[in-house]
Amino acid sequence: MRNLVVLSGAGMSVESGFSTFRDAGGLWDKYPVQQVATPEGYARDPELVLHFYNEQRRKLLTAQPNRGHVLLAEMEKDYNVTVVTQNIDDLHERAGSSHVIHLHGELTKVCSSRDPNNPHFVKKLNPSEYEVKLGDKSGDGSQFRPFIVWFGEAVPEIETAIKYVEESDIFVIIGTSMVVYPAAGLLNYVPREAEIYLIDPKPVDAHSYRNIHFIQKGASTGVAELKELLAAEK
């Protein structure tokens, strides 16, 4: 089977009712990034940051995978599918995707404030535990913080993602502006002979000399068209 690697961004989850950060009316309009998505913001007001992510988890309880998520999961029947996502939601997994790499962390997990990437202190939350409070401690005695890669922090999973991208036969970009690094740089690791598809309802400048097949549609209709195009190639 051919290797199909997907890079998904915020636009993947829009149809699921999960707000994107950068669009007008998105989360940055309500909460400045410096307050809720930086180590400095967390150090300054941990209670506000915990409240912000508790709010996002509540939204996640009502969000459902859209047809785009489901179709990607179904493609595992015909391809070795790896999803590399910039999203912190679990909609890919809930749709049935079995191999998902989260570049920016996971909303449904918490970790140590002292040692965020120590796997011993990463905890998966049940929905009944989604309300994280000051005083909730990890195994090393530090406050539980969101298991999110904030601005200014290293992206530990990027090396793992690069390995899969380097082995891809088909590389698909869905719903990402291609301006956030290091994720946007993954395009540089796609093999020369691989096919590249970009699905987004808005024009996207991928800043690449590569031949990219642009599907100017939302995630659900775009992935459906992708499936048809790939099936026609067989």
* Chain position carrying tokens 């699921």: 16
Residues 223 and 129 in one domain: no
202, 225: one domain: yes
The verdict on 9 and 31 lying in the same domain is no
Q: Please, what is the average pLDDT of the chain?
A: 91
Q: Kind and range of the H or E element at 197?
A: strand 195-199
Question: 71 and 176 in one domain?
Answer: yes
Same domain as 168, residue 206: yes
Q: Verify that 227 and 119 share a domain, yes or no.
A: no
Which range marks the domain in which residue 82 is found?
Answer: 1-17+66-104+155-234
Give the total number of structural domains in the chain. Answer: 2
- Domain with residue 40: its CATH number is 3.30.1600.10
Judgement on whether residues 166 and 228 belong to the same structural domain of the protein: yes
Global pTM reads 0.93
Strand ranges for the chain from DSSP E: 2-8, 79-85, 100-102, 105-112, 123-124, 144-148, 170-174, 195-199, 213-215
28, 82: one domain = no
Query: Do residue 121 and residue 218 come from a single domain?
Result: no
Do 30 and 57 reside in the same domain of the chain?
yes
For residues 162 and 216, membership in a common domain is answered with yes
Q: Could you give the strand order of the β-sheet that contains 2-8, starting from the edge strand earlier in sequence? A: 100-102, 79-85, 2-8, 170-174, 195-199, 213-215
pLDDT tens figures, 118-177: 999 999 999 999 999 999 999 999 999 999 999 999 999 999 999 999 999 999 999 987
Tens-digit pLDDT profile for residues 2-12: 999 999 998 99
116 and 56 share one domain? yes
| 68-95: pLDDT as tens digits | 999 999 999 999 999 999 999 999 999 9
Active site residues: 104
